[in-house]
Structures are given as structure tokens and as C-alpha cells.
């Protein structure tokens, strides 16, 4: 017989939800990099935005935006074309708050050093609430350099692009207070091989073309305009295709369906057809890849940032859970093997955050420094490759730390787990990034030289790091083959992480990273420490996530 005092309404030994915390101030590494890399002026806004993004209300908004999926309405009830995407109010709330905070605009509107760093920190904080709104925010941020290629287009569009007012009305862009941008590059037959695109652009008048064809993935179809690749008489070219033409008429782009994706659910991704759609040439005919790559290299930065952010959120959830959950007479966080795992995951999160923020710093430096321009040419692809790969592995282990509670949909972990692979695929998969690194080394020798100089400056601070740097430099200068491209990407990523952690992380944590990650005998599983002091493991954990007591 059950005891009469048994409480069926209360579950024991459960951790509270990780809500109402400051997502910025609890992340020591994020604070440290913002300070070390010279953008302290953004600290107050980061604190404010971190408090907002850690709130229970925003956590709920992220959940609602992903539960109530976007809906495509192709026609009205009378049969007229609409091509509208309907979103849950929570999605619009997240977009509005992010745009008001300047997530998309701050690098273009501030005159202070560190605009990219500020953007990256704000984007990192927002990403932990919802991956989906990152897509339109990132593309709106990243489209600016491509639009600047055409001064007429830039004059018309940029004031609305960098506006901090969210205006989701489906009306001509000229009448709006702010606009967002999407992108349509890939086609069914080609994917990443955009040179095989068969969508065509026929010249009509000066700078204006009629575009006919289809795109297999059109990101953020609710946007006010899109950058589109199409074959013009002189080759693959880049066009601005607005939802409404300059005379206020709905453009002839027709959305066929929304993709049913593994994750990234709150964001709409579509297939689209262009039936002689009005488009405006950006750059020169035949230079489409070069024109749109101005946008892509910025979105790749955000892929590295976003992966580090999702990784951090998962690790924070694991640390939080393990400090409350008890098993076998102790809190999980005090169980030696679990402490090992948490410290290892924390170390990975710290390194990913540092790598992403160092690339953001490189973008800031590149505005006035040619060597920095060459450095980020390779480093951006490296960061995109490495962080997106490591995030997938971290999510699996972090989910396991929560056990069954992390595997159910009421937890945020399944959503994070589904969301994280898209950053490895979007804007070029791992092979594309690795080959891009190799291509830059071979065709842009100044980029290789800038990277080599950076690595050489890192010598002399740690024995294990020195060995890895010498090995990496030897690899880079050995005329490597295409088959070695992934080895190069991994080696350079670890080298940058080691060099930067020595400079910006607490010395014991940086040394632990070098000893663990740069060893020739590093483990293939998480938490395989043998005699690492407990206080050092705890320091690594606190560097990643400093809990609210």
C-alpha cells in the first residue's frame, strides 16, 4: 500500500529551468574577449541585451516561434497570388527586439572600433534563444557590402537596411521604415556548384533584367528583397530582386513551398520560381560570384558565431542541470567523471567563442589594415569549418548530461540539437570551406603569408602549442594537396584557438586547452582527463558559465 503522505503532484530532485539569468554576464569568456579585443564601449548594451535574452519571457518566445511554424499562403481565396509567409507573434517579437538592439546594423552605424565585435556579441546572445531569426538578421547585416558595389542601389536601400525599426508589412519597400534581405543562390541541379545554375537574366534596359528560373533554397522568403544569381549574356551575375518593383507592383517571384527541415524551424526556407521577375544588376555581368561573396563572407562569420553560441547554450544547460541534480549521494557536478565531462565541454565552448570573436576582431581590423584583410580571408573559412563541426559533437554530449530530461521536447536541448547542423551546411559545407582555404593559399599568397606571420608570432608561450604551430606552419608551406584540405582546416583552427586563449583566457585554462587539445594523443571522447586538478576543472567550467547562485 502506498504511504498516505506520498505527494503525487511534486517531482523531486529536478533542476529548475535555466531562465531569468543574464546571458552575457554569466559568460566570462564572452566578456573577456569583448574587453581584450578592444570593444568595451559595447559592454553596457551587451549587459542589457543579455538580461533580455536570458529572461523567461524570451525563452518562451523562442519556444513558441519554433512550435508554431511559419505558413506559406500562395493565393487568396479568390485565386490571386499572395506569396506571403505568416509567422507566430513570438517570431515577430524576437525580430523586433533584435533589430531595435542593432544586431544587424551596428557595424554599419557606429564610428567606434569594434562594430563587428559588438554585432557578434549581440548575435551570439540572441542565437541562444532562437536560431531561426538569425537567418534574416544575418543576411540583412551581411548584404551591406554587396549593395555598396552599386552606388545607386546603395543610396536607395541602405538607409532602410540599417534602420533599427522592424517593419514586416508586405508593402512596397519604398513605403517601409525598415527592410530585411534574403538570398537565393542554389538550384536543384547544382547546390554549391553555382556555376551550373541555369536561371537566366535577359537585359531589358540600363541595369535592369528579367529573370526566369527557379531556386531550390531561398532563405527568408518574407524578406523585402533578395540577392539572386542568374546567367546573363556575359556569365553568372548577381541581381537585386525586390518583392515589389520600383513602381510598386508585386514582382513575379512565386514561392512554391516551404522546406520541411530537420531544425531551424521558426525560419522559413522556400523554393521559388522567377517568371520574368524584375531584377537590378549588382556589379558587372559575369562577376556574380564575386559580388555575392561580399555577402557570403559576412554570413560565414555569423555561422561561426552562431555555432559557438548554440554550443555555449547547451553547455550552460548541462552545467546548470548538474549543479542541481543528485545521483548516488552527490550532485552530478561533484561526481568526478561528470566534472571531467563538464570541464571538457566548457573548454570547447571557451575555445569556440574565442575563435569566433577573434575572427570578428579581424573584420574590424580589416577596415584599416591590409594584413588583417588577408588574414580573415582564410581565418573566416577556418572558423566556419571548425566551430560548426565541433558544435554538433558538443550538443550530443551536453544532451546526455541531462539524461532523459534533455531528450524530451519540453527541454530546449532537442531544438538546439536539431538547429546546430544547419550552420555546417548553410553558406558552404565543410568541404567547400576546406577547399576555399586551400584555394586562398594557392591563389592569394598574401593571405597565406598573413596567416604564417600570425602563427609565428604565437611561438614561445607554451611547449605543446609551439609543437603544434611548427607542425601547422610546415603543413601550410608543403604545397598541400586537395586531399589534405580538411587536415589544414583543423590544424589552423586549433592553432588560432591556442594562440588566442594564451592571450585572453586565464593562464591555467589556456594551458589546459593546449595540453588537452594539441596533444598528439588527445582523446576521441569527452572528459577523458586522468589527473587534472579539481580546481582547474572547476575554473574551466566557471569560465564558460558562471551560475547565478
Instruction: Kindly list the domain boundaries of the chain, sorted by start residue.
Output: 28-161, 179-288, 291-544
Res 549 pLDDT > 60: no
Residue 220 region by backbone torsions, left for phi larger than 0, else alpha for psi between -120 and 50, else beta: left
Q: What is the pLDDT, as a whole number, of residue 192?
A: 85
Residues 33-42: pLDDT tens digits?
A: 999 999 999 9
Res 1 pLDDT > 80: no
8 Å CB contact between 184 and 227: yes
Q: What is the pLDDT, as a whole number, of residue 2?
A: 57
Percentage of the chain modeled with pLDDT above 90: 95
Res 4 pLDDT > 90: no
Q: What is the pLDDT, as a whole number, of residue 193?
A: 87
What CATH number labels 179-288? 2.40.110.20
Residue with cell 518583392: 243
The count of other CB atoms within 10 Å of the CB of residue 198 is 13
Mean pLDDT of 417-437: 96
Mean pLDDT of 343-357: 98
138's CB contacts (< 8 A; 6+ apart) are: 104, 123, 298, 299, 302, 306
8 Å CB contact between 378 and 447: yes
Q: In a 3-state reduction of DSSP, which class is residue 305?
A: helix
Q: What is the pLDDT, as a whole number, of residue 3?
A: 60
- Bridge partner list, 86: 71
Q: What is the pLDDT, as a whole number, of residue 548?
A: 63
Q: What is the pLDDT, as a whole number, of residue 47?
A: 98
Percentage of the chain modeled with pLDDT above 70: 99
**CA 302 to mean position of chain CA atoms:** 4
C-alpha span between 148 and 145 (Å, rounded)? 5
**Grid coordinates standing for 103?**
544586431
**Grid coordinates standing for 348?**
570547447
| Average pLDDT of the chain, as a whole number | 96
8 Å CB contact between 311 and 318: no
C-alpha span between 43 and 24 (Å, rounded)? 9
Res 351 pLDDT > 60: yes
Residue 404: pLDDT band (50, 70, 90) is very high
Res 145 pLDDT > 70: yes
* Entry pTM: 0.97
| Largest CA-CA distance found in the chain, in angstroms, rounded | 87
Please write down the HEC assignment for all residues of 122-165: HHHHHHCCCCCCHHHHHHHHHCHHHHCCCHHHHHHHHHHHCCCC
Q: What is the pLDDT, as a whole number, of residue 6?
A: 86
**Grid coordinates standing for 6?**
506520498
Closest CA to 363 of 302, 307, 306, 309: 302
Fold of 291-544: Butyryl-CoA Dehydrogenase, subunit A; domain 3 (1.20.140)
Res 22 pLDDT > 90: yes
Res 520 pLDDT > 90: no
Amino acid at each position: 500500500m502506498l504511504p498516505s503522505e506520498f505527494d503525487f503532484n511534486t517531482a523531486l530532485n529536478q533542476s529548475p529551468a535555466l531562465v531569468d539569468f543574464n546571458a552575457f554576464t554569466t559568460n566570462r569568456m564572452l566578456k573577456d574577449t569583448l574587453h581584450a579585443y578592444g570593444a568595451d564601449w559595447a559592454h553596457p548594451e551587451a549587459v542589457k541585451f543579455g538580461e533580455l535574452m536570458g529572461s523567461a519571457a524570451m525563452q518562451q518566445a523562442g519556444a513558441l516561434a519554433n512550435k508554431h511554424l511559419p505558413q506559406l499562403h500562395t493565393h487568396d481565396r479568390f485565386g490571386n497570388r499572395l506569396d506571403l509567409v505568416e509567422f507566430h507573434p513570438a517570431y515577430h517579437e524576437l525580430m523586433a527586439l533584435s533589430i531595435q538592439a542593432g544586431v544587424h546594423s551596428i557595424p554599419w552605424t557606429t564610428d567606434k572600433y569594434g562594430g563587428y565585435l559588438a554585432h557578434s556579441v549581440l548575435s551570439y546572445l540572441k542565437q541562444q534563444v532562437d536560431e531561426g531569426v538569425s537567418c534574416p538578421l544575418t543576411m540583412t547585416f551581411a548584404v551591406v557590402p554587396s549593395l555598396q558595389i552599386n552606388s545607386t542601389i546603395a543610396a536607395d536601400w541602405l538607409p532602410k537596411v540599417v534602420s533599427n525599426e522592424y517593419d514586416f508589412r508586405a508593402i512596397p519597400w519604398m513605403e517601409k521604415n525598415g527592410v530585411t534581405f534574403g538570398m537565393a543562390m542554389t538550384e536543384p541541379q547544382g547546390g554549391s556548384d553555382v556555376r551550373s545554375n541555369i536561371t537566366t537574366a535577359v537585359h531589358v534596359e540600363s541595369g535592369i533584367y528579367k529573370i526566369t528560373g527557379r531556386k531550390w533554397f531561398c532563405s527568408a522568403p518574407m524578406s523585402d528583397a533578395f540577392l539572386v544569381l542568374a546567367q546573363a549574356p556575359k556569365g553568372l551575375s548577381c541581381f537585386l530582386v525586390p518583392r515589389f518593383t520600383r513602381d510598386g507592383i508585386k514582382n513575379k517571384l512565386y514561392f512554391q513551398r516551404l522546406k520541411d527541415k530537420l531544425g531551424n524551424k521558426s525560419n522559413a526556407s522556400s523554393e521559388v520560381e522567377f517568371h520574368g521577375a524584375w531584377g537590378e544588376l549588382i556589379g558587372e555581368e559575369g562577376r556574380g560570384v564575386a559580388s555575392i561573396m561580399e555577402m557570403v563572407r559576412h554570413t560565414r562569420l555569423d555561422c561561426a558565431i552562431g555555432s559557438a553560441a548554440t554550443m555555449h547554450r547547451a553547455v550552460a544547460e548541462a552545467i546548470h542541470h548538474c549543479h542541481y541534480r543528485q545521483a548516488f549521494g552527490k550532485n552530478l557536478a561533484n561526481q568526478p567523471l561528470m566534472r571531467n565531462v563538464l570541464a571538457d565541454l566548457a573548454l570547447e565552448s571557451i575555445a569556440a567563442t574565442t575563435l569566433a570573436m577573434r575572427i570578428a576582431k579581424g573584420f574590424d581590423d580589416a577596415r584599416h589594415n591590409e594584413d588583417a584583410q588577408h588574414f580573415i580571408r582564410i581565418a573566416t573559412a577556418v572558423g566556419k569549418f571548425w566551430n560548426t563541426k565541433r558544435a554538433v559533437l558538443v550538443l550530443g554530449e551536453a544532451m546526455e548530461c541531462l539524461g532523459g530530461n534533455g531528450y524530451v521536447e519540453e527541454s530546449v536541448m532537442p531544438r538546439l540539437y536539431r538547429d546546430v547542423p544547419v550552420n555546417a551546411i548553410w553558406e558552404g559545407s565543410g568541404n567547400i570551406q576546406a577547399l576555399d582555404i586551400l584555394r586562398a593559399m594557392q591563389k592569394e599568397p598574401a593571405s597565406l603569408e598573413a596567416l604564417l606571420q600570425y602563427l609565428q608570432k604565437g611561438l614561445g608561450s607554451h611547449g605543446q602549442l609551439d609543437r603544434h604551430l611548427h607542425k601547422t606552419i610546415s603543413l601550410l608551406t608543403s604545397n598541400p594537396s586537395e586531399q589534405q584540405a580538411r587536415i589544414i582546416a583543423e590544424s589552423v583552427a586549433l592553432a588560432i584557438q591556442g594562440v588566442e586563449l594564451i592571450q585572453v583566457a586565464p593562464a591555467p585554462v589556456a594551458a589546459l586547452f593546449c595540453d588537452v587539445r594539441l596533444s598528439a594523443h588527445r582523446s576521441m571522447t569527452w572528459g577523458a582527463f586522468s589527473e587534472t586538478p579539481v580546481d582547474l576543472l572547476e575554473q574551466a567550467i566557471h569560465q564558460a558559465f558562471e551560475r547565478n547562485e
